Chains A and B, each alone.
Chain A
Protein backbone atom coordinates (compact mmCIF):
# COMPACT_ATOMS: atom_id res chain seq x y z
CA UNK A 1 0.00 0.00 0.00
CA UNK A 2 2.76 2.37 0.99
CA UNK A 3 4.68 1.60 -2.16
CA UNK A 4 1.57 2.34 -4.21
CA UNK A 5 1.28 5.72 -2.54
CA UNK A 6 4.90 6.55 -3.27
CA UNK A 7 4.51 5.46 -6.87
CA UNK A 8 1.35 7.51 -7.27
CA UNK A 9 3.06 10.54 -5.80
CA UNK A 10 5.93 10.11 -8.25
CA UNK A 11 3.55 9.81 -11.21
CA UNK A 12 1.65 12.89 -10.09
CA UNK A 13 4.88 14.82 -9.66
CA UNK A 14 5.97 13.86 -13.17
CA UNK A 15 2.63 14.99 -14.54
CA UNK A 16 2.77 18.34 -12.81
CA UNK A 17 6.27 18.79 -14.19
CA UNK A 18 5.06 17.86 -17.67
CA UNK A 19 2.16 20.28 -17.44
CA UNK A 20 4.48 23.05 -16.50
CA UNK A 21 5.83 22.97 -20.02
CA UNK A 22 2.24 23.17 -21.26
CA UNK A 23 1.69 26.53 -19.58
CA UNK A 24 2.05 29.77 -21.51
CA UNK A 25 5.63 30.92 -21.92
CA UNK A 26 6.04 33.72 -19.43
CA UNK A 27 8.75 35.77 -21.10
CA UNK A 28 7.05 35.93 -24.47
CA UNK A 29 5.29 39.14 -25.49
CA UNK A 30 2.16 38.37 -27.42
CA UNK A 31 -1.11 39.86 -28.54
CA UNK A 32 -4.34 38.06 -29.36
CA UNK A 33 -6.09 38.85 -32.63
CA UNK A 34 -9.69 37.79 -33.23
CA UNK A 35 -9.94 37.22 -36.95
CA UNK A 36 -11.62 35.31 -39.71
CA UNK A 37 -11.01 31.87 -41.15
CA UNK A 38 -10.45 33.35 -44.62
CA UNK A 39 -7.28 35.19 -43.58
CA UNK A 40 -5.90 32.10 -41.84
CA UNK A 41 -6.98 29.38 -44.29
CA UNK A 42 -5.65 31.41 -47.22
CA UNK A 43 -2.18 31.25 -45.65
CA UNK A 44 -1.88 35.05 -45.39
CA UNK A 45 -1.02 35.04 -41.69
CA UNK A 46 1.65 32.38 -42.11
CA UNK A 47 3.22 34.71 -44.65
CA UNK A 48 3.00 38.14 -42.97
CA UNK A 49 3.07 37.46 -39.21
CA UNK A 50 6.63 36.08 -38.99
CA UNK A 51 7.85 39.34 -40.58
CA UNK A 52 6.14 41.39 -37.89
CA UNK A 53 7.44 39.12 -35.12
CA UNK A 54 11.00 39.25 -36.44
CA UNK A 55 10.89 43.03 -36.46
CA UNK A 56 9.24 43.68 -33.10
CA UNK A 57 9.63 40.51 -31.05
CA UNK A 58 5.86 40.47 -30.52
CA UNK A 59 4.11 37.17 -31.23
CA UNK A 60 0.61 37.31 -32.70
CA UNK A 61 -1.88 34.69 -31.51
CA UNK A 62 -4.69 34.37 -34.02
CA UNK A 63 -8.12 33.04 -33.12
CA UNK A 64 -9.60 32.30 -36.54
CA UNK A 65 -13.39 32.09 -36.39
CA UNK A 66 -16.33 33.58 -38.28
CA UNK A 67 -16.64 37.37 -38.22
CA UNK A 68 -19.73 37.20 -35.98
CA UNK A 69 -17.92 35.11 -33.38
CA UNK A 70 -14.74 37.19 -33.69
CA UNK A 71 -16.72 40.35 -32.90
CA UNK A 72 -18.22 38.65 -29.83
CA UNK A 73 -14.78 37.55 -28.63
CA UNK A 74 -13.50 41.11 -28.94
CA UNK A 75 -16.60 42.51 -27.22
CA UNK A 76 -15.92 40.20 -24.27
CA UNK A 77 -12.35 41.47 -24.17
CA UNK A 78 -10.85 38.14 -25.18
CA UNK A 79 -8.74 39.74 -27.90
CA UNK A 80 -6.59 42.86 -28.25
CA UNK A 81 -7.26 43.43 -31.93
CA UNK A 82 -10.23 42.71 -34.20
CA UNK A 83 -9.31 41.97 -37.83
CA UNK A 84 -12.39 40.95 -39.83
CA UNK A 85 -14.42 41.63 -42.97
CA UNK A 86 -17.87 43.04 -42.42
CA UNK A 87 -17.80 46.81 -42.37
CA UNK A 88 -21.26 47.31 -40.84
CA UNK A 89 -20.50 45.02 -37.85
CA UNK A 90 -17.10 46.69 -37.43
CA UNK A 91 -18.59 50.17 -37.41
CA UNK A 92 -21.21 49.08 -34.90
CA UNK A 93 -18.44 47.60 -32.74
CA UNK A 94 -16.71 51.00 -32.71
CA UNK A 95 -19.95 52.96 -32.24
CA UNK A 96 -20.84 50.80 -29.23
CA UNK A 97 -17.56 51.83 -27.65
CA UNK A 98 -15.82 48.45 -27.84
CA UNK A 99 -13.26 49.56 -30.40
CA UNK A 100 -11.19 52.71 -30.88
CA UNK A 101 -11.35 53.23 -34.62
CA UNK A 102 -11.71 51.15 -37.78
CA UNK A 103 -9.03 51.25 -40.47
CA UNK A 104 -9.19 49.80 -43.98
CA UNK A 105 -6.47 47.16 -44.44
CA UNK A 106 -7.07 45.35 -47.71
CA UNK A 107 -9.64 44.07 -50.14
CA UNK A 108 -10.19 40.93 -52.10
CA UNK A 109 -13.37 39.61 -53.58
CA UNK A 110 -16.04 36.98 -53.28
CA UNK A 111 -16.79 34.59 -56.10
CA UNK A 112 -19.81 32.41 -56.80
CA UNK A 113 -18.86 28.78 -57.31
CA UNK A 114 -21.00 26.08 -58.82
CA UNK A 115 -20.74 22.66 -60.41
CA UNK A 116 -19.36 22.45 -63.95
CA UNK A 117 -22.77 21.19 -65.12
CA UNK A 118 -24.21 24.58 -63.98
CA UNK A 119 -27.90 23.54 -63.74
CA UNK A 120 -29.12 27.14 -63.21
CA UNK A 121 -27.03 28.43 -66.15
CA UNK A 122 -25.33 31.30 -64.34
CA UNK A 123 -21.81 30.85 -65.78
CA UNK A 124 -20.45 34.12 -67.16
CA UNK A 125 -23.30 36.17 -65.63
CA UNK A 126 -21.93 39.59 -64.66
CA UNK A 127 -24.72 40.58 -62.30
CA UNK A 128 -24.46 38.58 -59.06
CA UNK A 129 -28.04 39.41 -58.03
CA UNK A 130 -29.31 38.12 -61.37
CA UNK A 131 -27.26 34.93 -60.94
CA UNK A 132 -28.73 34.28 -57.49
CA UNK A 133 -32.24 34.89 -58.70
CA UNK A 134 -31.66 32.31 -61.49
CA UNK A 135 -30.46 29.78 -58.87
CA UNK A 136 -33.60 30.42 -56.82
CA UNK A 137 -35.73 30.09 -59.97
CA UNK A 138 -34.12 26.78 -60.87
CA UNK A 139 -34.27 25.60 -57.24
CA UNK A 140 -30.65 24.47 -57.69
CA UNK A 141 -28.78 23.36 -54.57
CA UNK A 142 -27.05 26.27 -52.80
CA UNK A 143 -24.82 25.82 -49.74
CA UNK A 144 -24.92 28.72 -47.30
CA UNK A 145 -22.57 29.29 -44.38
CA UNK A 146 -25.54 30.10 -42.14
CA UNK A 147 -23.15 31.04 -39.32
CA UNK A 148 -23.33 34.83 -39.01
CA UNK A 149 -19.85 35.15 -40.51
CA UNK A 150 -18.74 37.99 -42.78
CA UNK A 151 -19.24 35.80 -45.83
CA UNK A 152 -22.70 34.78 -44.64
CA UNK A 153 -23.70 38.41 -44.07
CA UNK A 154 -22.46 39.28 -47.54
CA UNK A 155 -24.43 36.38 -48.99
CA UNK A 156 -27.63 37.52 -47.26
CA UNK A 157 -27.05 41.05 -48.57
CA UNK A 158 -26.71 39.70 -52.11
CA UNK A 159 -29.85 37.56 -51.78
CA UNK A 160 -31.72 40.67 -50.73
CA UNK A 161 -30.50 42.43 -53.87
CA UNK A 162 -31.69 39.46 -55.94
CA UNK A 163 -35.24 39.75 -54.65
CA UNK A 164 -35.40 36.02 -53.89
CA UNK A 165 -36.13 34.68 -50.42
CA UNK A 166 -33.90 31.62 -49.91
CA UNK A 167 -34.82 31.31 -46.22
CA UNK A 168 -38.24 30.05 -47.26
CA UNK A 169 -36.48 27.16 -49.05
CA UNK A 170 -34.20 26.33 -46.14
CA UNK A 171 -33.81 22.56 -45.98
CA UNK A 172 -34.80 21.99 -49.60
CA UNK A 173 -32.50 23.55 -52.23
CA UNK A 174 -31.13 26.22 -49.83
CA UNK A 175 -28.88 24.38 -47.38
CA UNK A 176 -27.43 26.18 -44.38
CA UNK A 177 -24.39 24.30 -43.11
CA UNK A 178 -23.89 26.46 -40.02
CA UNK A 179 -20.16 25.88 -40.45
CA UNK A 180 -16.93 27.55 -41.48
CA UNK A 181 -15.93 28.34 -45.07
CA UNK A 182 -13.85 25.18 -45.45
CA UNK A 183 -16.54 22.87 -44.11
CA UNK A 184 -19.13 24.55 -46.32
CA UNK A 185 -16.89 24.19 -49.38
CA UNK A 186 -16.45 20.49 -48.57
CA UNK A 187 -20.24 20.15 -48.34
CA UNK A 188 -20.84 22.08 -51.56
CA UNK A 189 -18.20 20.04 -53.33
CA UNK A 190 -19.80 16.79 -52.18
CA UNK A 191 -23.35 17.73 -53.25
CA UNK A 192 -22.48 19.85 -56.28
CA UNK A 193 -24.11 22.92 -54.86
CA UNK A 194 -23.59 26.60 -55.63
CA UNK A 195 -21.70 28.45 -52.92
CA UNK A 196 -20.32 31.92 -52.22
CA UNK A 197 -16.72 32.10 -51.00
CA UNK A 198 -13.89 34.57 -50.74
CA UNK A 199 -11.38 34.06 -53.52
CA UNK A 200 -8.32 33.54 -51.31
CA UNK A 201 -9.83 30.58 -49.44
CA UNK A 202 -10.92 29.07 -52.74
CA UNK A 203 -7.47 29.40 -54.32
CA UNK A 204 -5.88 27.62 -51.36
CA UNK A 205 -8.63 24.99 -51.03
CA UNK A 206 -7.59 21.44 -51.94
CA UNK A 207 -10.87 19.53 -52.17
CA UNK A 208 -12.29 21.42 -55.17
CA UNK A 209 -14.18 18.47 -56.71
CA UNK A 210 -16.33 19.53 -59.68
CA UNK A 211 -16.74 23.12 -58.44
CA UNK A 212 -15.48 26.11 -60.39
CA UNK A 213 -15.85 29.88 -60.42
CA UNK A 214 -18.99 30.85 -62.34
CA UNK A 215 -19.60 34.48 -61.37
CA UNK A 216 -16.98 37.09 -60.47
CA UNK A 217 -16.18 40.74 -60.93
CA UNK A 218 -19.48 42.37 -59.86
CA UNK A 219 -18.42 45.27 -57.64
CA UNK A 220 -20.90 44.16 -54.97
CA UNK A 221 -18.61 41.16 -54.53
CA UNK A 222 -15.78 43.25 -53.12
CA UNK A 223 -14.65 42.12 -49.69
CA UNK A 224 -13.26 44.79 -47.34
CA UNK A 225 -11.07 43.90 -44.39
CA UNK A 226 -10.78 46.25 -41.44
CA UNK A 227 -8.66 46.35 -38.29
CA UNK A 228 -9.68 47.77 -34.90
CA UNK A 229 -7.94 48.16 -31.55
CA UNK A 230 -10.14 46.93 -28.71
CA UNK A 231 -10.99 49.84 -26.41
CA UNK A 232 -8.82 49.74 -23.25
CA UNK A 233 -11.44 51.83 -21.44
CA UNK A 234 -13.79 48.86 -21.74
CA UNK A 235 -11.12 46.25 -21.18
CA UNK A 236 -8.15 47.60 -19.22
CA UNK A 237 -6.07 44.45 -19.76
CA UNK A 238 -5.82 45.12 -23.52
CA UNK A 239 -2.16 45.31 -24.52
CA UNK A 240 -2.46 48.72 -26.12
CA UNK A 241 1.21 49.32 -26.89
CA UNK A 242 1.84 45.98 -28.58
CA UNK A 243 -1.55 45.88 -30.29
CA UNK A 244 -1.05 49.42 -31.63
CA UNK A 245 2.40 48.41 -32.90
CA UNK A 246 0.76 45.58 -34.84
CA UNK A 247 -1.93 47.83 -36.30
CA UNK A 248 0.66 50.46 -37.25
CA UNK A 249 2.75 47.79 -38.95
CA UNK A 250 -0.20 46.32 -40.88
CA UNK A 251 -1.28 49.78 -42.05
CA UNK A 252 2.28 50.98 -42.69
CA UNK A 253 4.43 50.57 -45.79
CA UNK A 254 6.00 47.31 -44.66
CA UNK A 255 2.81 45.47 -43.73
CA UNK A 256 0.96 46.71 -46.79
CA UNK A 257 3.82 45.57 -49.02
CA UNK A 258 3.84 42.15 -47.35
CA UNK A 259 0.09 41.75 -47.90
CA UNK A 260 0.44 42.75 -51.55
CA UNK A 261 3.37 40.39 -52.07
CA UNK A 262 1.52 37.29 -50.85
CA UNK A 263 0.78 34.90 -53.70
CA UNK A 264 -1.31 31.75 -53.92
CA UNK A 265 -0.29 29.71 -56.94
CA UNK A 266 1.27 32.79 -58.46
CA UNK A 267 -1.81 34.99 -57.95
CA UNK A 268 -2.15 37.99 -55.67
CA UNK A 269 -4.78 37.13 -53.04
CA UNK A 270 -5.26 40.40 -51.13
CA UNK A 271 -4.97 44.00 -52.31
CA UNK A 272 -3.74 46.43 -49.63
CA UNK A 273 -5.78 49.63 -49.40
CA UNK A 274 -4.85 51.29 -46.08
CA UNK A 275 -5.20 55.06 -46.11
CA UNK A 276 -6.84 55.02 -49.52
Chain B
Protein backbone atom coordinates (compact mmCIF):
# COMPACT_ATOMS: atom_id res chain seq x y z
CA UNK B 1 0.00 0.00 0.00
CA UNK B 2 2.26 2.77 -1.18
CA UNK B 3 -0.90 4.79 -1.99
CA UNK B 4 -1.08 6.12 1.56
CA UNK B 5 2.46 7.47 1.66
CA UNK B 6 2.02 8.77 -1.89
CA UNK B 7 -1.16 10.51 -0.78
CA UNK B 8 0.58 12.38 2.00
CA UNK B 9 3.31 13.32 -0.45
CA UNK B 10 0.69 14.52 -2.93
CA UNK B 11 -1.15 16.50 -0.24
CA UNK B 12 2.06 18.12 0.92
CA UNK B 13 3.08 18.89 -2.64
CA UNK B 14 -0.34 20.44 -3.36
CA UNK B 15 -0.22 22.67 -0.30
CA UNK B 16 3.47 23.65 -0.41
CA UNK B 17 3.44 24.17 -4.17
CA UNK B 18 0.43 26.46 -3.72
CA UNK B 19 -1.16 25.17 -6.88
CA UNK B 20 -3.32 27.95 -8.40
CA UNK B 21 -5.99 25.47 -9.56
CA UNK B 22 -6.17 23.98 -6.08
CA UNK B 23 -6.55 27.43 -4.52
CA UNK B 24 -9.43 28.12 -6.91
CA UNK B 25 -11.13 24.83 -6.04
CA UNK B 26 -10.65 25.35 -2.30
CA UNK B 27 -11.97 28.91 -2.57
CA UNK B 28 -15.09 27.80 -4.42
CA UNK B 29 -15.70 24.93 -1.97
CA UNK B 30 -15.56 27.32 0.96
CA UNK B 31 -17.71 29.99 -0.69
CA UNK B 32 -20.41 27.53 -1.73
CA UNK B 33 -20.57 25.72 1.61
CA UNK B 34 -20.30 28.88 3.75
CA UNK B 35 -23.10 30.59 1.91
CA UNK B 36 -25.32 27.50 1.91
CA UNK B 37 -24.80 27.18 5.66
CA UNK B 38 -25.41 30.91 6.23
CA UNK B 39 -28.78 30.76 4.48
CA UNK B 40 -29.63 27.47 6.19
CA UNK B 41 -28.78 29.05 9.55
CA UNK B 42 -30.91 32.11 8.85
CA UNK B 43 -33.84 29.80 8.10
CA UNK B 44 -33.09 26.90 10.45
CA UNK B 45 -32.59 28.80 13.72
CA UNK B 46 -35.95 30.62 13.83
CA UNK B 47 -37.86 27.65 12.42
CA UNK B 48 -36.26 25.24 14.90
CA UNK B 49 -36.87 27.62 17.80
CA UNK B 50 -40.49 28.19 16.81
CA UNK B 51 -41.19 24.48 16.63
CA UNK B 52 -39.55 24.03 20.02
CA UNK B 53 -41.72 26.64 21.74
CA UNK B 54 -45.13 26.52 20.09
CA UNK B 55 -47.69 23.75 20.37
CA UNK B 56 -49.84 23.15 17.30
CA UNK B 57 -51.64 20.25 15.63
CA UNK B 58 -49.33 18.02 13.61
CA UNK B 59 -46.28 19.13 15.59
CA UNK B 60 -45.19 15.58 16.39
CA UNK B 61 -45.37 14.59 12.74
CA UNK B 62 -43.38 17.68 11.78
CA UNK B 63 -40.72 16.82 14.36
CA UNK B 64 -40.32 13.31 13.03
CA UNK B 65 -40.27 14.55 9.44
CA UNK B 66 -37.64 17.17 10.27
CA UNK B 67 -35.44 14.63 12.02
CA UNK B 68 -35.82 12.25 9.09
CA UNK B 69 -34.85 15.01 6.66
CA UNK B 70 -31.47 15.23 8.41
CA UNK B 71 -30.75 12.05 6.48
CA UNK B 72 -31.73 13.42 3.08
CA UNK B 73 -29.57 11.63 0.49
CA UNK B 74 -27.47 14.28 -1.33
CA UNK B 75 -27.92 12.52 -4.66
CA UNK B 76 -31.72 12.77 -4.32
CA UNK B 77 -31.49 16.47 -3.46
CA UNK B 78 -29.19 16.89 -6.46
CA UNK B 79 -31.72 15.20 -8.70
CA UNK B 80 -34.61 17.31 -7.41
CA UNK B 81 -32.63 20.52 -7.86
CA UNK B 82 -31.53 19.37 -11.32
CA UNK B 83 -35.11 18.71 -12.40
CA UNK B 84 -36.14 22.11 -11.01
CA UNK B 85 -33.34 24.13 -12.60
CA UNK B 86 -33.06 22.22 -15.87
CA UNK B 87 -34.15 24.16 -18.95
CA UNK B 88 -37.01 21.68 -19.14
CA UNK B 89 -37.89 22.33 -15.48
CA UNK B 90 -40.03 25.00 -13.78
CA UNK B 91 -37.11 27.37 -13.01
CA UNK B 92 -35.21 26.62 -16.21
CA UNK B 93 -35.54 30.11 -17.65
CA UNK B 94 -33.06 31.49 -15.12
CA UNK B 95 -30.25 29.36 -16.54
CA UNK B 96 -28.92 28.53 -13.07
CA UNK B 97 -28.01 24.91 -13.74
CA UNK B 98 -24.27 24.19 -13.66
CA UNK B 99 -23.50 27.38 -11.71
CA UNK B 100 -22.28 27.84 -8.12
CA UNK B 101 -25.73 29.28 -7.29
CA UNK B 102 -27.30 25.90 -8.05
CA UNK B 103 -24.77 24.20 -5.78
CA UNK B 104 -25.48 26.64 -2.95
CA UNK B 105 -29.21 26.01 -3.38
CA UNK B 106 -28.77 22.22 -3.22
CA UNK B 107 -26.51 22.32 -0.16
CA UNK B 108 -28.86 24.72 1.56
CA UNK B 109 -31.68 22.17 1.15
CA UNK B 110 -29.45 19.51 2.67
CA UNK B 111 -28.28 21.57 5.62
CA UNK B 112 -31.44 23.45 6.68
CA UNK B 113 -33.18 20.40 8.23
CA UNK B 114 -30.01 19.54 10.18
CA UNK B 115 -29.73 23.01 11.69
CA UNK B 116 -33.48 23.30 12.31
CA UNK B 117 -33.75 19.90 13.99
CA UNK B 118 -30.72 20.41 16.23
CA UNK B 119 -31.88 23.94 17.10
CA UNK B 120 -35.28 22.58 18.03
CA UNK B 121 -33.69 20.17 20.53
CA UNK B 122 -31.38 22.79 22.06
CA UNK B 123 -34.13 25.38 22.48
CA UNK B 124 -36.66 22.89 23.78
CA UNK B 125 -34.22 21.79 26.52
CA UNK B 126 -33.54 25.40 27.48
CA UNK B 127 -37.25 26.21 27.49
CA UNK B 128 -37.92 23.37 29.92
CA UNK B 129 -35.24 24.81 32.17
CA UNK B 130 -36.23 28.49 31.99
CA UNK B 131 -39.94 28.49 31.17
CA UNK B 132 -41.15 29.44 34.65
CA UNK B 133 -38.53 32.12 35.07
CA UNK B 134 -39.24 33.64 31.66
CA UNK B 135 -43.00 33.54 32.15
CA UNK B 136 -42.67 35.22 35.57
CA UNK B 137 -40.81 38.01 33.75
CA UNK B 138 -43.75 38.24 31.36
CA UNK B 139 -41.95 36.62 28.43
CA UNK B 140 -44.10 34.11 26.50
CA UNK B 141 -42.68 31.88 23.76
CA UNK B 142 -42.50 34.70 21.23
CA UNK B 143 -40.41 37.01 23.39
CA UNK B 144 -38.32 34.11 24.66
CA UNK B 145 -36.99 33.07 21.23
CA UNK B 146 -34.13 35.61 20.96
CA UNK B 147 -33.16 35.14 24.61
CA UNK B 148 -33.06 31.36 24.28
CA UNK B 149 -31.16 31.48 20.98
CA UNK B 150 -28.62 33.73 22.65
CA UNK B 151 -28.40 31.52 25.71
CA UNK B 152 -27.91 28.41 23.60
CA UNK B 153 -25.44 30.03 21.22
CA UNK B 154 -22.58 27.64 21.93
CA UNK B 155 -24.71 24.54 21.42
CA UNK B 156 -26.16 26.13 18.31
CA UNK B 157 -22.66 26.74 17.00
CA UNK B 158 -22.21 22.98 17.06
CA UNK B 159 -25.45 22.61 15.09
CA UNK B 160 -24.16 25.05 12.48
CA UNK B 161 -20.81 23.23 12.32
CA UNK B 162 -22.65 19.94 11.80
CA UNK B 163 -24.40 21.61 8.88
CA UNK B 164 -21.11 22.86 7.51
CA UNK B 165 -19.64 19.37 7.80
CA UNK B 166 -22.51 17.98 5.79
CA UNK B 167 -22.23 20.67 3.12
CA UNK B 168 -18.48 20.55 2.62
CA UNK B 169 -18.33 16.75 2.59
CA UNK B 170 -21.14 15.88 0.18
CA UNK B 171 -20.47 15.10 -3.45
CA UNK B 172 -23.76 13.65 -4.74
CA UNK B 173 -25.68 16.90 -5.03
CA UNK B 174 -22.96 19.25 -6.29
CA UNK B 175 -21.85 16.72 -8.89
CA UNK B 176 -25.32 16.65 -10.49
CA UNK B 177 -26.25 20.32 -10.28
CA UNK B 178 -22.74 21.74 -10.71
CA UNK B 179 -21.47 19.36 -13.37
CA UNK B 180 -17.86 19.46 -12.07
CA UNK B 181 -16.88 22.02 -14.73
CA UNK B 182 -13.22 22.99 -14.52
CA UNK B 183 -12.76 26.59 -13.25
CA UNK B 184 -16.53 27.04 -12.87
CA UNK B 185 -18.13 24.48 -10.57
CA UNK B 186 -15.32 22.15 -9.54
CA UNK B 187 -15.10 21.85 -5.76
CA UNK B 188 -12.98 19.64 -3.52
CA UNK B 189 -15.31 16.66 -3.41
CA UNK B 190 -16.00 16.57 -7.16
CA UNK B 191 -12.28 16.99 -7.86
CA UNK B 192 -11.63 13.97 -5.64
CA UNK B 193 -14.27 11.96 -7.51
CA UNK B 194 -12.65 12.96 -10.82
CA UNK B 195 -9.18 11.85 -9.74
CA UNK B 196 -10.61 8.53 -8.54
CA UNK B 197 -12.17 8.06 -11.97
CA UNK B 198 -8.79 8.70 -13.56
CA UNK B 199 -7.33 6.03 -11.30
CA UNK B 200 -5.01 8.50 -9.61
CA UNK B 201 -5.85 7.30 -6.12
CA UNK B 202 -2.86 8.94 -4.45
CA UNK B 203 -3.76 12.40 -5.76
CA UNK B 204 -7.43 11.80 -4.86
CA UNK B 205 -6.50 10.87 -1.31
CA UNK B 206 -4.10 13.82 -1.20
CA UNK B 207 -7.00 16.13 -2.07
CA UNK B 208 -9.01 14.35 0.63
CA UNK B 209 -6.34 15.15 3.18
CA UNK B 210 -6.42 18.81 2.12
CA UNK B 211 -10.23 18.82 2.50
CA UNK B 212 -10.01 17.32 5.98
CA UNK B 213 -7.37 19.88 6.93
CA UNK B 214 -9.73 22.63 5.75
CA UNK B 215 -12.55 21.22 7.83
CA UNK B 216 -10.19 21.06 10.80
CA UNK B 217 -9.27 24.71 10.18
CA UNK B 218 -12.90 25.85 10.06
CA UNK B 219 -13.79 23.94 13.23
CA UNK B 220 -10.65 25.17 14.96
CA UNK B 221 -11.51 28.76 14.07
CA UNK B 222 -15.04 28.28 15.40
CA UNK B 223 -13.67 26.84 18.62
CA UNK B 224 -11.22 29.72 19.08
CA UNK B 225 -14.02 32.21 18.42
CA UNK B 226 -16.20 30.52 21.01
CA UNK B 227 -13.41 30.49 23.60
CA UNK B 228 -12.70 34.17 23.03
CA UNK B 229 -16.39 35.04 23.29
CA UNK B 230 -16.79 33.03 26.49
CA UNK B 231 -13.87 34.85 28.06
CA UNK B 232 -15.18 38.25 27.01
CA UNK B 233 -18.88 37.75 27.72
CA UNK B 234 -18.71 35.15 30.47
A residues adjacent to B (C-beta < 8 A): 1, 4, 11-12, 15-16, 18-19, 21-24, 32, 37, 41, 61-64, 75-78, 180-183, 185-186, 189, 204-208, 235, 237
The answer to whether A76 and B180 touch across the interface, beta carbons within 8 angstroms, is no
Known A-B contacts A1-B146, A186-B196, A207-B200; the reply to A19 vs B98 at CB < 8 A is no
Cα distance A78–B101 in the bound complex, in angstroms = 16
Cα distance A99–B16 in the bound complex, in angstroms = 47
10 extra A-B contacts, CB within 8 A, seeds A78-B97, A180-B197: A15-B34, A15-B35, A18-B31, A19-B34, A21-B31, A22-B32, A22-B104, A24-B100, A76-B86, A207-B200
Contact with A along B97-134 (1 / 0, CB 8 A): 11111001000000000000000000000000000000
Cα distance A16–B42 in the bound complex, in angstroms = 13
Cα distance A189–B3 in the bound complex, in angstroms = 15
When distances are taken between beta carbons in the complex, the residues of chain B under 8 Å from A237 are 87, 95
When distances are taken between beta carbons in the complex, the residues of chain A under 8 Å from B27 are 21
List which B63-87 residues lie within 8 A (CB) of chain A: 86-87
- In the complex, whether B199 has a CB less than 8 A from a CB of chain A is yes
- Can you show 24 pairs from A to B with CB atoms below 8 A apart? A1-B150, A4-B150, A12-B42, A18-B31, A18-B34, A19-B31, A21-B31, A22-B28, A22-B35, A22-B104, A23-B101, A24-B99, A61-B98, A61-B179, A63-B180, A75-B88, A77-B87, A77-B92, A78-B86, A182-B199, A183-B196, A205-B199, A206-B199, A208-B199
* Residue with the greatest number of chain A CB neighbours at <10 A, chosen from B28, B87, B98, B100: B87
The answer to whether A62 and B201 touch across the interface, beta carbons within 8 angstroms, is no
When distances are taken between beta carbons in the complex, the residues of chain B under 8 Å from A23 are 99-101
- In the complex, whether B60 has a CB less than 8 A from a CB of chain A is no
**A-B complex: 7 closest residue pairs judged by Cβ atoms:** A182-B197, A77-B87, A207-B199, A76-B88, A22-B100, A206-B199, A22-B31
The answer to whether A41 and B197 touch across the interface, beta carbons within 8 angstroms, is yes
The answer to whether A185 and B99 touch across the interface, beta carbons within 8 angstroms, is no
Residue of A nearest to B37 (CB): A15
Q: How far is the CB of B6 from chain A (nearest CB, A)?
A: 10
Q: How far is the CB of A267 from chain B (nearest CB, A)?
A: 17
Residue of A nearest to B179 (CB): A63
Cα distance A271–B84 in the bound complex, in angstroms = 39
Cα distance A98–B181 in the bound complex, in angstroms = 23
Cα distance A268–B77 in the bound complex, in angstroms = 41
Residue of A nearest to B42 (CB): A12
When distances are taken between beta carbons in the complex, the residues of chain A under 8 Å from B196 are 182-183, 186
When distances are taken between beta carbons in the complex, the residues of chain B under 8 Å from A181 are 197
List which B181-227 residues lie within 8 A (CB) of chain A: 181-182, 184, 196-201
When distances are taken between beta carbons in the complex, the residues of chain A under 8 Å from B42 are 12
The answer to whether A206 and B181 touch across the interface, beta carbons within 8 angstroms, is no
When distances are taken between beta carbons in the complex, the residues of chain B under 8 Å from A41 are 197-198
The answer to whether B86 and A207 touch across the interface, beta carbons within 8 angstroms, is no
Residue of B nearest to A11 (CB): B38
Residue of B nearest to A201 (CB): B198
When distances are taken between beta carbons in the complex, the residues of chain A under 8 Å from B180 are 63-64
Residue of B nearest to A182 (CB): B197
When distances are taken between beta carbons in the complex, the residues of chain A under 8 Å from B92 are 77
List which B30-56 residues lie within 8 A (CB) of chain A: 31-32, 34-35, 38, 42
The answer to whether A76 and B87 touch across the interface, beta carbons within 8 angstroms, is yes
When distances are taken between beta carbons in the complex, the residues of chain B under 8 Å from A183 are 196-197
